[in-house]
């Protein structure tokens, strides 16, 4: 790959277009990614758009085209559309704040993408904010080659989502769907969930920073009970309360696909976190859950910690700010009998410090490193001679920075009888 593979051009500069088009027309192998940006919302005139579009048609090298804060007229969109439709090299199209007043770009490009057979990734930020663009978005859901669609920082209402959902029911290509910060309310999320329930392709779904609460979450939970493809769900910064967390907990008891759940900055409280903890003693598929900034007090963390020994799948946990040392101590107690959790995020330091200020172990840090090193080997060991080969292999790979291997330390402390080979 040539070293100069990226062209970042400000359209506010003079003579930006001729130089770029010369390289496109010549199929310059070093020109792979193009980013056109404007500081003041420059509108490409018809001549500029036509010239750029003709050159894009000729290029066989460009794989990524990004337009940021650039407006395109209706006629300009009609020039650009066929270039997008017929390109065979472009893999990623990114539009940020590029919509014109009438939304012609959205309509034309959606139609072009419907016929295109090379573009796999579409990022649209702040360019699809007209509810009348429903037909355009509906076309996208029927695009055969798109695997990643991120439509963020727009306004998407239930009427528009209903069109999207119709396409999602039969879509088999999309793997990533991101609707962050689109003002989606409970009704809009319920419409989306109806389209996702029968979908068997989407693996990642983000609904961060929208405007829905427990009604929308109930629809998502019902969807999770039947969906067989979604492995990662982001609900950061919405209005999910304890009731919504209970809906999700009920879904987790039957869902065997979801692996990651992000609930940061909601309001699930103690009752919600208890419901999730109970579900995780049944569910063995979910390996990651985050719930910082959810008004969770000591009682909620104590209950979650009490359930830790019975969680067989959870590997990554983010609890945010613990409001007391007792909550941290409760987590330590829970970790003593938990063999899976290896990553614990919190606002306080997990480790302790020695008097000289260097990091020390700390009980939380010790048990987390122990699990990363393979503590389960000790629990599952039946034949001591076979155990030693596994332990020593794990010791070499996961030794602590100061040279003291966690698993070996734990083995000597918890099963000293394995060292007594005199009777063998």
Q: pLDDT of 263-282, one tens digit each?
A: 999 999 999 999 999 999 99
Q: Provide the angle, in degrees to the nearest 10, between the axes of the packed helices 384-398 and 363-373.
A: 110
Give dist(CA 382, CA 268) in Å, integer.
Answer: 43
Give dist(CA 168, CA 191) in Å, integer.
Answer: 11
pLDDT for res 24: 92
pLDDT for res 177: 97
pLDDT for res 127: 65
What is the b/e burial string over 111-135, where b = at least 16 CB atoms within 10 angstroms of the residue's CB?
bbbbebeebbbbbbbbbbbbeebbe
Question: What is the model's pTM?
Answer: 0.87
Q: pLDDT of 204-221, one tens digit each?
A: 999 999 999 999 999 999
pLDDT for res 379: 64
pLDDT for res 31: 92
pLDDT for res 361: 44
**Cα angle, residue 60 at apex, residues 58 and 61 outer, rounded to 5°:** 125
CB-based contacts of 151, cutoff 8 Å, min separation 6: 122, 124, 128, 137, 178, 179, 182
pLDDT for res 51: 93
Q: What structural domains and CATH numbers belong to the chain?
A: 64-379 (3.80.10.10), 380-424 (no CATH)
Q: What is the mean pLDDT of the chain?
A: 84
Residues of the chain under the 70 pLDDT cut: 1-8, 12, 14, 99-104, 127-135, 349-362, 377-424
Give dist(CA 235, CA 265) in Å, integer.
Answer: 9
- Phi, psi at 329, each rounded to 5°: -65, -35
pLDDT for res 99: 64
In angstroms, what CA-CA distances link 306 with 142, 204, 217, 371?
Answer: 47, 30, 26, 18
């Amino acid at each position: 790959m040539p070293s100069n593979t990226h062209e970042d051009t400000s359209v506010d500069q003079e003579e930006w277009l001729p130089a770029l088009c010369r390289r496109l027309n010549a199929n310059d192998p070093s020109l792979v990614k193009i980013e056109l940006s404007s500081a003041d919302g420059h509108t490409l005139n018809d001549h500029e758009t036509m010239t750029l579009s003709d050159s894009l048609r000729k290029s066989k090298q460009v794989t990524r085209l990004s337009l940021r804060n650039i407006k395109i007229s209706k006629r300009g969109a009609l020039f650009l559309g066929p270039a997008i439709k017929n390109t065979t090299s472009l893999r990623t199209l990114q539009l940020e704040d590029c919509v014109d007043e009438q939304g012609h770009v959205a309509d034309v490009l959606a139609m072009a993408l419907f016929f295109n057979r090379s573009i796999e990734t579409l990022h649209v930020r702040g360019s699809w904010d007209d509810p009348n663009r429903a037909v355009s978005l509906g076309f996208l859901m029927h695009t055969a080659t798109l695997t990643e669609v991120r439509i963020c920082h727009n306004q998407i209402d239930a009427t528009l989502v209903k069109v999207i959902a119709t396409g999602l029911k039969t879509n088999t290509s999309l793997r990533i769907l991101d609707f962050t910060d689109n003002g989606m309310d409970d009704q809009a999320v319920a419409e989306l969930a109806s389209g996702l329930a029968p979908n068997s392709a989407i693996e990642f779904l983000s609904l961060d920073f929208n405007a829905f609460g427990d009604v929308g979450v109930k629809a998502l939970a019902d969807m999770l009970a039947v969906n067989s493809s979604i492995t990662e769900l982001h609900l950061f910064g919405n209005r999910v309360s304890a009731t919504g967390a209970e809906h999700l907990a009920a879904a987790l008891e039957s869902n065997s696909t979801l692996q990651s759940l992000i609930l940061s900055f909601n309001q699930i409280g103690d009752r919600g976190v208890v419901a999730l903890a109970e579900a995780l003693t049944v569910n063995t598929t979910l390996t990651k859950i985050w719930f910082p900034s959810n008004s969770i007090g000591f009682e909620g963390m104590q209950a979650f910690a009490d359930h830790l020994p019975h969680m067989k799948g959870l590997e990554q946990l983010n609890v945010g700010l613990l409001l007391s040392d007792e909550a941290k101590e409760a987590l330590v107690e829970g970790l003593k009998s938990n063999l899976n959790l290896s990553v614990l995020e919190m606002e306080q330091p997990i480790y302790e410090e020695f008097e000289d200020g260097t990091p020390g172990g700390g009980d939380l840090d010790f048990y987390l490193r122990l699990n990363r090193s393979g503590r389960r080997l000790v629990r599952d060991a039946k034949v001591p001679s076979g155990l030693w080969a596994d332990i020593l292999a794990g010791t070499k790979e996961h030794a602590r920075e100061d040279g003291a291997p966690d698993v070996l330390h734990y083995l000597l402390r918890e099963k000293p009888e394995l060292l007594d080979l005199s009777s063998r």
